[in-house]
Protein backbone atom coordinates (compact mmCIF):
# COMPACT_ATOMS: atom_id res chain seq x y z
CA UNK A 1 0.00 0.00 0.00
CA UNK A 2 1.30 3.43 -0.89
CA UNK A 3 1.87 5.53 2.17
CA UNK A 4 2.45 9.26 1.94
CA UNK A 5 5.08 9.04 4.69
CA UNK A 6 7.14 6.37 2.96
CA UNK A 7 9.87 7.07 0.43
CA UNK A 8 9.64 5.14 -2.81
CA UNK A 9 13.21 4.01 -2.21
CA UNK A 10 15.98 4.36 0.33
CA UNK A 11 19.59 5.14 -0.53
CA UNK A 12 22.62 5.20 1.77
CA UNK A 13 23.64 8.49 0.19
CA UNK A 14 23.04 10.55 -2.94
CA UNK A 15 26.03 8.76 -4.44
CA UNK A 16 24.16 5.46 -4.30
CA UNK A 17 21.30 6.73 -6.47
CA UNK A 18 21.01 5.21 -9.94
CA UNK A 19 20.98 8.43 -11.94
CA UNK A 20 20.85 6.77 -15.35
CA UNK A 21 18.06 4.47 -14.18
CA UNK A 22 15.98 7.48 -13.17
CA UNK A 23 16.52 9.08 -16.54
CA UNK A 24 15.58 5.87 -18.35
CA UNK A 25 12.42 5.66 -16.22
CA UNK A 26 11.37 9.05 -17.57
CA UNK A 27 12.38 11.42 -14.80
CA UNK A 28 13.72 14.77 -15.97
CA UNK A 29 14.18 16.90 -12.86
CA UNK A 30 15.81 16.43 -9.48
CA UNK A 31 14.76 18.46 -6.50
CA UNK A 32 16.99 17.99 -3.52
CA UNK A 33 17.09 18.95 0.10
CA UNK A 34 20.33 20.59 1.27
CA UNK A 35 21.21 19.95 4.92
CA UNK A 36 22.26 16.40 5.72
CA UNK A 37 21.34 15.34 2.18
CA UNK A 38 24.02 17.09 0.08
CA UNK A 39 26.39 18.11 2.87
CA UNK A 40 26.44 18.14 6.67
CA UNK A 41 23.95 20.44 8.34
CA UNK A 42 25.03 24.07 7.83
CA UNK A 43 28.28 23.05 6.11
CA UNK A 44 29.00 26.12 3.98
CA UNK A 45 30.49 24.63 0.82
CA UNK A 46 30.09 21.68 -1.50
CA UNK A 47 32.62 18.86 -1.50
CA UNK A 48 34.41 17.98 -4.76
CA UNK A 49 32.41 14.74 -4.79
CA UNK A 50 29.16 16.69 -4.62
CA UNK A 51 30.24 19.04 -7.38
CA UNK A 52 31.00 16.01 -9.57
CA UNK A 53 27.63 14.41 -8.74
CA UNK A 54 25.71 17.54 -9.65
CA UNK A 55 27.66 17.77 -12.87
CA UNK A 56 26.79 14.17 -13.64
CA UNK A 57 23.10 14.93 -13.18
CA UNK A 58 23.22 17.94 -15.45
CA UNK A 59 25.26 16.14 -18.09
CA UNK A 60 22.66 13.38 -18.11
CA UNK A 61 20.07 16.06 -18.87
CA UNK A 62 18.38 16.56 -15.52
CA UNK A 63 17.27 19.92 -14.29
CA UNK A 64 18.41 20.31 -10.71
CA UNK A 65 17.26 22.59 -7.93
CA UNK A 66 17.70 22.77 -4.17
CA UNK A 67 14.67 23.09 -1.93
CA UNK A 68 15.50 23.81 1.70
CA UNK A 69 13.68 24.88 4.83
CA UNK A 70 16.85 26.62 5.99
CA UNK A 71 17.19 30.41 5.79
CA UNK A 72 18.04 32.52 2.77
CA UNK A 73 21.62 33.39 3.72
CA UNK A 74 22.62 29.76 4.28
CA UNK A 75 20.92 28.34 1.19
CA UNK A 76 21.84 31.08 -1.28
CA UNK A 77 25.49 31.24 -0.25
CA UNK A 78 25.73 27.46 -0.74
CA UNK A 79 23.88 27.22 -4.03
CA UNK A 80 25.14 30.30 -5.84
CA UNK A 81 28.74 29.10 -6.42
CA UNK A 82 27.28 25.87 -7.81
CA UNK A 83 25.03 27.71 -10.24
CA UNK A 84 22.01 25.81 -9.01
CA UNK A 85 18.64 27.42 -8.42
CA UNK A 86 17.59 27.21 -4.80
CA UNK A 87 14.36 27.67 -2.92
CA UNK A 88 14.99 28.66 0.71
CA UNK A 89 12.67 28.90 3.71
CA UNK A 90 10.58 26.48 1.67
CA UNK A 91 8.39 25.31 4.54
CA UNK A 92 8.34 21.74 3.28
CA UNK A 93 6.07 19.75 3.31
CA UNK A 94 3.90 22.67 2.19
CA UNK A 95 3.27 22.72 -1.52
CA UNK A 96 4.07 26.32 -2.42
CA UNK A 97 7.84 26.04 -2.89
CA UNK A 98 7.49 22.70 -4.70
CA UNK A 99 5.06 24.33 -7.12
CA UNK A 100 7.41 27.24 -7.70
CA UNK A 101 10.27 24.84 -8.39
CA UNK A 102 8.21 22.85 -10.90
CA UNK A 103 7.17 26.03 -12.64
CA UNK A 104 10.74 27.28 -12.84
CA UNK A 105 11.96 23.98 -14.26
CA UNK A 106 8.93 23.59 -16.55
CA UNK A 107 8.41 19.99 -15.50
CA UNK A 108 5.55 17.99 -14.07
CA UNK A 109 5.62 16.52 -10.58
CA UNK A 110 5.50 12.99 -12.00
CA UNK A 111 8.73 13.68 -13.93
CA UNK A 112 10.46 14.89 -10.78
CA UNK A 113 12.54 13.13 -8.18
CA UNK A 114 12.61 14.53 -4.64
CA UNK A 115 15.66 13.58 -2.58
CA UNK A 116 15.94 14.24 1.14
CA UNK A 117 16.85 12.90 4.55
CA UNK A 118 13.65 13.67 6.46
CA UNK A 119 10.24 12.02 6.35
CA UNK A 120 8.04 14.86 7.51
CA UNK A 121 9.48 17.52 5.23
CA UNK A 122 11.18 16.04 2.16
CA UNK A 123 9.38 12.72 1.74
CA UNK A 124 5.91 13.82 2.79
CA UNK A 125 6.23 16.96 0.67
CA UNK A 126 7.43 15.10 -2.41
CA UNK A 127 4.86 12.32 -2.07
CA UNK A 128 1.99 14.77 -1.70
CA UNK A 129 3.08 16.38 -4.94
CA UNK A 130 3.22 13.05 -6.74
CA UNK A 131 6.99 13.07 -7.09
CA UNK A 132 9.26 10.04 -6.89
CA UNK A 133 10.81 10.23 -3.44
CA UNK A 134 14.23 8.99 -2.40
CA UNK A 135 15.23 9.05 1.25
CA UNK A 136 18.93 9.17 2.03
CA UNK A 137 20.66 8.47 5.29
CA UNK A 138 21.47 11.77 7.04
CA UNK A 139 25.13 12.57 6.43
CA UNK A 140 25.89 13.43 10.04
CA UNK A 141 24.15 13.15 13.40
CA UNK A 142 24.43 16.88 14.02
CA UNK A 143 21.22 18.72 13.09
CA UNK A 144 18.72 21.32 14.23
CA UNK A 145 17.02 20.74 17.59
CA UNK A 146 13.56 20.46 16.08
CA UNK A 147 14.82 17.88 13.63
CA UNK A 148 16.08 15.66 16.42
CA UNK A 149 12.57 15.53 17.83
CA UNK A 150 11.14 14.62 14.43
CA UNK A 151 13.58 11.72 14.20
CA UNK A 152 11.70 10.05 17.04
CA UNK A 153 8.49 10.18 15.04
CA UNK A 154 10.33 8.99 11.95
CA UNK A 155 11.36 5.91 13.84
CA UNK A 156 7.73 5.18 14.58
CA UNK A 157 6.44 5.53 11.02
CA UNK A 158 9.45 4.06 9.21
CA UNK A 159 10.16 0.78 10.85
CA UNK A 160 11.81 -0.48 7.68
CA UNK A 161 14.41 2.32 7.56
CA UNK A 162 17.60 0.47 6.62
CA UNK A 163 19.99 2.39 8.88
Q: Among residues 29 and 123, whose Cβ is nearest to Mg ion?
A: 123
CB 26, min distance to Mg ion, A: 26
Under rule CB under 5 A, residue 35 binds Mg ion? yes
The stretch near Mg ion (CB under 5 A) out of 43-51, 52-60, 88-96, 115-123 is 115-123
Peptide bond into 93 cis (omega under 30): yes
Length of the chain: 163
Which one-letter DSSP state was computed for residue 90? -
Which one-letter DSSP state was computed for residue 77? H
d(CA 37, CA 28) in angstroms, rounded, equals 20
d(CA 22, CA 107) in angstroms, rounded, equals 15
> What residues numbered 58-87 form the site for Mg ion, per CB under 5 A?
none
Q: SS3 breakdown of the chain: % helix, strand, coil, rounded to 5?
A: 45, 15, 40
CB 135, min distance to Mg ion, A: 10
Under rule CB under 5 A, residue 154 binds Mg ion? no
> What residues numbered 7-26 form the site for Mg ion, per CB under 5 A?
none
Q: Exposure of 116 by Cβ count < 10 A (0-12 exposed, 13-18 middle, 19+ buried)?
A: buried
Under rule CB under 5 A, residue 36 binds Mg ion? yes
Under rule CB under 5 A, residue 33 binds Mg ion? yes
CB 106, min distance to Mg ion, A: 26
Under rule CB under 5 A, residue 117 binds Mg ion? yes
Point out which residues bind Mg ion (CB under 5 A): 33, 35-37, 117
Amino acid sequence: MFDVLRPRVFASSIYHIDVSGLWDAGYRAVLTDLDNTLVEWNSPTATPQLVAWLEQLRERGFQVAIISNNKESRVVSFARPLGIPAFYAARKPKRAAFLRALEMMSVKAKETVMIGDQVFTDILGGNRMGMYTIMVQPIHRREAGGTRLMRLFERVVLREKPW
